[in-house]
Structure 1
Amino acid sequence: MKNRPSYAIASVDHALQLATALQVEGSLSVSEAAERLGVARSTAHRLLAMLVYRDFAAQDGDRRYVAGPVLSLGAHSQSRTALLRTLGLPHLEALVERVGETANLQILAGDHVRFIGSVECKQALRVGDREGMVFPAHLTSGGKLMLADLPEEQLDAFYAEEKWADRPGERPDVAALRRELRTVRERGFAINAGRTETGLTAIGRALRPDGGRAEAAISVSLPTVRFSEEKLPHLVAALALTARDIEQDLVRALARGA
């Protein structure tokens, strides 16, 4: 399980948070960056200037900061991702209150999953903030849900042997993965039992605002020592309720032209 390093450097953490925000949400002004981090405008300006220097950020014509050439979002448009995150976070907070565990929002970026929102629970032993992290999709609960909705030819392309030639030990057993994805489709939820991190269990649910293919996924992550089969129905029900609420908010926002 990943925990915040005891030697964490605040300026590095702040710079990484800004890079993540630019990558998944879109542009930021100096004032917005300062408010996001809870720092002075001068500090935010220095951090953004360093990101520009290293090509993680750039300035547009309105003097706002945008993702630079080093960063590439891939699967989603920035506006759509920003809207999804903005609408999803309050519901993740409600989910955390409901189940007492950390909640996450994820999108698919190629054959990986990117965490675009995360709300930590308040328990002393907990799964930490995952925002900005990237994991192989076939290992995560949310990733499996989104993979399960892909066309067969896209799944074939993701896990073609030649694509994994330089890392053959990491390529999943495709036949076993297909069987697992069929089970995921039938159940409507997915479980990650220590696949991404030892000692972590996560349960995921897909988001399908238009009723079609999964656009994103939400998950609850908790220390495996606190997970039991008896808890699963409660967690799945809470995820279903949260997914419905986010989907409804997204549909309404898109109808308004947000």
Structure 2
Amino acid sequence: MASAGAKVVFSGSVEQAPDRTGEQRTVKRSVRVIDPLGSRRPAPDAVQKYRAAGRSVYAEALAAGYSPAAARRMTQQGGATLDAEPPIYASGCVYSEEVQPDPEFEWSGCYKLYDVQAQDADAWYVAGSGTARGWGTNALSGGKELNAGYSEIFWNAFEGEIIEAAPSANRDGDNCRQFTISLARIIELSYQVPLCDDRWAVTWDQWHHRVQWEGASIGGSSDLRSASGASTLRVPSYVDTIGMEYQVGWAYRCFC
């Protein structure tokens, strides 16, 4: 869930890629949210309105279907302590299933848009972060083995460009040790997320930034994996509106 008027879209596919038994297949799905608050220059009182409306990442996560415990974890960007964070003026969360939680797997995420005061004669700036997390179960025991999951922010701003992204390159897994994600060029943002094996695959260009975890999770909710990223967008001063979408996607293998 996100602000009023936000659109949530599910999509997916099933790859008929049988193994030697001819039964196993890979399922790929994604869910994205289009937040209208991410489509225009933040108003001077945007942060105050966000707080006055009783909004928070915790409330957004509950509305999206998270359990209270999972929602609390998402308020701390993947379970780690925030080192520095600007004021939030918009947020939202998306859950991996449309109706009921799936006992065999999960991949869900939340995003934040930050109030960036910096501007100059030629441009204004907007920054955001997104963190997704989830787990899988053993396909050989009838479960869903999670093999990939990503978190992505897409800025639909053809006149704008991302000037800083973190992480900015692929990162090898580090046995789920904490990895620091930080922005420093325009805003001060710093937080930590577990970086699990095998790796994070990072892609970004002028308008989008995606961080995808790749590996295997088969141990249930105690076998958590995460993907997270943050970026800052520069927008020319003559542009008042842009588009913003947040998307999470995942792939799992199963005999189903």
User: What's the TM-score once normalised by structure 2's chain length?
Assistant: 0.30
Q: Which has the higher contact order (CA 8 A, sep 6+)?
A: 2
Task: Point out the structure with the larger helix share.
Answer: 1
Task: Point out the structure with the larger strand share.
Answer: 2
